[in-house]
Amino acid sequence: MEKNMNAKEVQEQLLTLSHDLGQEDRRLAMLGEGNTSAAIGDGTFWVKASGSRLSTLKPTDLSRVVIEKALAVLDETGLDNAAVNQRLQTTLYDPDHKQPSVETFLHALCLTIGGAQWVGHTHTDSVLSILCSSVGATPFLQHIYPDEIVVCGRHIAVVPYVDPGLPLAVAVRDALQEYRDTHGVGPKVLLMVNHGPVALGQSAGEVLNIMLMLDKWARILIGTQAFGGPNYLSSEEADHLDNRPDEHYRRKQLAG
């Protein structure tokens, strides 16, 4: 997060990011799909309220949540949907705010274990065309061109289909922790099979860039099927691109 940003400034940038992700012609999200969040820097974060739309999100459609309270719910067992909804209310920094998205727990994890400052989750048409197929996230486990390595990262995290809400958050916690244990950092992309992508960034601009590049990546993967399938880069080629100094510089510039 940029230095000296207060809660209001974070809120304003999150609204802009939400509108960008919800822009209908981009086909990243429609109706009430998707959600966004951003850390404020004081142990709380803004997250999209339940039932609101990214494309028309207003300040009153963002809820401020206490991270520790959201994470604490993950340690409870045997909660039914009604109990989860009640727990969501208890995570609010301001009890007058709307009930936060059911994916609030997922966002709390991305902003802690995932190492992100900004998070965007969409139901991108192109990405879901692959995630909802028999191959799931497998095509994204290898790379096909340099820019998706630069913007989306060398490796991605994957979660199999799990019922949205608390069960999904538990699966995401495991996936993020495994990723961090393996790579030493959090991922830029988390793919949830039969559900959709999550972009984890250090700025609102980086989240948008990741989601747009992921959309392009998916569309190219689909397009290659007309010509015999993707010609994947080797692991050595992908590692080389990931570690090039000029690509590190470009990655920082794109991340803002």
Average pLDDT over residues 213-228: 97
Over 80: is that where the pLDDT of 247 sits? no
Other CB atoms within 10 A of residue 141 CB: 12
Nearest to 105 by CA among 81, 84, 77, 124: 84
Q: Tell me: the pLDDT tens digits for 64-104? A: 999 999 999 998 877 888 888 888 999 999 999 999 988 99
Over 50: is that where the pLDDT of 1 sits? no
Instruction: Determine the 3-state secondary structure of 149 from DSSP.
Output: helix
Q: Tell me: the pLDDT tens digits for 26-54? A: 999 988 899 999 999 999 999 999 889 99
Identify the burial level of 171 via C-beta atoms within 10 angstroms of its C-beta, where 0-12 means exposed, 13-18 middle and 19 or more buried.
Answer: middle
The CATH code that applies to domain 7-255 is 3.40.225.10
Mean pLDDT of the chain: 93
Task: List the domain boundaries for the chain.
Answer: 7-255
pLDDT value for 80: 84
Average pLDDT over residues 193-215: 97
Identify the burial level of 230 via C-beta atoms within 10 angstroms of its C-beta, where 0-12 means exposed, 13-18 middle and 19 or more buried.
Answer: middle
CB 172 within 8 A of CB 71: no
CB 153 within 8 A of CB 211: no
Average pLDDT over residues 103-108: 95
pLDDT value for 248: 65
**Lowest mean pLDDT across 112-126, 142-156, 202-216, 236-250:** 236-250
Determine how β-strand 44-48 pairs with β-strand 157-159.
Answer: unpaired
Q: Sign of torsion, CA 221 127 158 155?
A: positive
CA atoms within 13 A on the CB side of 134: 0
